[in-house]
Amino acid sequence: MCSGRVDLDFVLRAFSNGMDGVFIGGCRLNECNYVTQGNYHALNMALLSRRIMEYVGLNPARLSIEFMSAGEGIRFGEVTNDFAKKVKELGPLGSSEGIDREEVKSKLEEVRKLVPYIKQVKKEKLRTPLRDREQDDKHFTREEIESLLRDVLSYYINPEKCQACMICARRCPAEAIISARNQVHVIEQDKCIKCGTCYDVCPAQFGAVRKLSGEPVPPPLPEEKRTIVRKAKEKEIA
């Protein structure tokens, strides 16, 4: 499997499941057999993963990424043995960091929910090859990741402006919008991947979707109050 297919969620899920260390092996940089340069993507992903690990409180040394050819069996053995030794010295996940394993799992699960959002926001960096390996530590900074995870964007449909056109619901890639004809739409925050599609496609004349940053999402309108009464209908009733 190309190392470029190793996803951020794979790494976080491994640690969430209790793995003490994760090793990623890829082809030599600039020697991609498929011209996709997926190993550079894997490198960027690993650097991002390490910063997220620091944010959670884990030692980034628990994640290793190395590049070598299929013919370097001896080197592969040496590298993996060295990494296994290092992980053994660090001890069980969370022990050297002074964090309870259940707390580690809880923090990682919270971040895993944001993986689509993180990849969307950092897509340009993730797809840009890092040619100078001396810049590894600067590619993603601690401050950058802290800000990213602290100021997570959320989206909310204003019930006073929603016209139940169902455009956002049809376009939502995560099927996170509860919709029905003539009913105010509601975003299920647990399913929302923060991609902003609903915000982008909501008709300008409605402007019903709000983008929130650093503030709590208002509670959803109760189901029994979501029915939209059109003006023409109001006149008929009157």
Phi (first) and psi of residue 134, to 5 degrees: -70, -15
Mean pLDDT of all residues in 179-205: 93
According to CATH, the topology of domain 153-237 is: Alpha-Beta Plaits (3.30.70)
Stated pTM of the model: 0.79
Residue 68: Cβ-neighbour burial (10 angstroms; 0-12, 13-18, 19+) = middle
Task: Kindly report which listed range (31-35, 91-95, 147-151) carries the lowest average pLDDT score.
Answer: 31-35
Contact 209, 155 (CB under 8 A): yes
Encode pLDDT of 64-99 as tens digits. 999 998 889 999 999 999 999 999 999 999 999 999
For the chain, give the mean pLDDT: 91
Task: Give the start-to-end residue ranges of the domains of the chain.
Answer: 3-150, 153-237
Percent of the chain with pLDDT over 70: 97
What is the structure's pLDDT at 232? Answer: 56
> 155-192 burial by CB neighbour count: b if 16+ within 10 A, else e?
bbbebeebbbeebbbeebeeebbbbeeebbbbbeeeeb
| Cβ atoms within 10 Å, residue 91 | 12
CA diameter of the chain: 85
What is the structure's pLDDT at 214? Answer: 77
What is the structure's pLDDT at 180? Answer: 92
Mean pLDDT of all residues in 164-191: 94
Encode pLDDT of 34-53 as tens digits. 777 889 999 999 999 999 99
What is the band of 231 on the pLDDT scale with cuts at 50, 70, 90? low
Residue 152: Cβ-neighbour burial (10 angstroms; 0-12, 13-18, 19+) = middle
User: In the chain, which residue ranges form alpha helices assigned H by DSSP?
Assistant: 8-16, 38-56, 73-90, 101-112, 115-121, 123-127, 136-139, 142-150, 167-171, 197-201, 231-237
Contact 160, 228 (CB under 8 A): no
Percent of the chain with pLDDT over 90: 75
Q: Which of 76, 75, 5 is nearest to 39 (CA)?
A: 5
